[in-house]
Amino acid sequence: MIIVDVGCGTGDFTRYLARLNPGKCRVIGVDSRAASIKAAEVETKKAGLSKRIVFKVGDVNKLPLENDYADLTCCRTLLMHLPNPLIAVKEMTRVTRPGGSVAAVEPGGMRTFHDPKDQKFTELALAVEKAYRAGIKNLEGKDFAIGEKLPGVFQEAGLLGIRAEVQADSWVNSDPRRRLRDVREEIKFGWQMFKENEKTERRYLLAGGLSPERVRSFVRQQERRVKEYLSSDDKLRNDTSTYGASIFITIGNKRAGED
């Protein structure tokens, strides 16, 4: 079996695919960034999977593979970053053999948050999430809620037998199955990333229709919450604020006998 992982980044999903298929299986990871490919090769060697996985630098809109090459061509959280995902799906279809499968794992539109102790912040956080996605769409043409749209995109690309599943990802900081250290690190990382990209993040929110006053209010309140959580393990472990998101898995088959 030959599998192609498009937009593989540093190869974590590529390695996951290889482990799912312990038999005779070859996996090819493709990414446009040479630095990501180098990192993927290093991590794959550490994992002892170099004999089964190879990586290539290549553009998703012009994959460095011949027609009808793979049994399965897939991507994870790639199409959400493309202004024209249809081109990429058509290219994924081209390199898939007749009767083979094309699959995508992408976020859907469901995003939820609820703080049982702060209804006003809950409403603000939901408005921020909505504005953020709208702002990215308005400024860059990217759809961070593309999951529900993929069956239509797959059909337009000429794929058949299209099916989709939706999975929910939810979490609370009070969940004892999550190590407290991991929860803290996730909060630190998320806030650090926001601060490093704050100018861009604010631009997205404004372009998505959020007022400057509400943007400033959200940043202030979020900073306060982060400091509060990181200052007390007890507060963090007893936080029952609920976060949730949807992930769509969409699959289609290439028409048999068609290039």
User: Can you give the CATH number for the domain in which 16 is found?
Assistant: 3.40.50.150
What distance in Å separates the CA atoms of residue 4 and residue 247, rounded to the nearest whole number?
21
Q: Is the pLDDT of residue 22 over 80?
A: no
- 220 located within any domain: no
pLDDT at 257 > cutoff 80: no
Q: Report yes or no on 224 lying in a domain.
A: no
249 belongs to a structural domain = yes
With 80 as the cut, is the pLDDT of residue 259 above it?
no
Indicate whether 103 pLDDT > 90: yes
pTM (predicted TM-score): 0.89
Amino acid 23: pLDDT: 78
- The one-letter amino acid code at 209 reads G
Confidence of residue 21 (pLDDT cuts 50, 70, 90): confident
Assess whether pLDDT exceeds 70 at residue 258.
Answer: no
Mean pLDDT of all residues in 138-161: 97
202 in any annotated domain: no
pLDDT in tens, 199-237: 999 999 999 999 999 999 999 999 999 999 999 999 999
Total tally of structural domains belonging to the chain: 1
Give residue 150's pLDDT. Answer: 97
pLDDT band at 24 (very low <50, low <70, confident <90, very high): confident
Structural domain includes residue 216: no
What pLDDT is attached to residue 157? 98
- Average pLDDT (164-171) is 93
Give the tens place of pLDDT for each residue, 44-91: 999 999 999 999 999 999 999 999 999 999 999 999 999 999 999 999
- What the block records as the tokens of 202 is 């604010």
Residue 198 lies in a domain: no
Q: Spell 60-86 as b/e; 16+ CB within 10 A means b.
A: beebebeeebbbbbbbbbbbbbbeebe
Residue 178 lies in a domain: no
Who contacts 204 (Cβ-Cβ below 8 Å, separation ≥6)? 131, 132, 135, 136, 139
What is the per-residue pLDDT across 122-146, written as a single tens digit (0 to 9) for each? Answer: 999 999 999 999 999 999 999 999 9
Its domain, for residue 46, covers 2-110+142-170+245-253
The number of beta carbons lying within 10 Å of the beta carbon of residue 166 is: 13
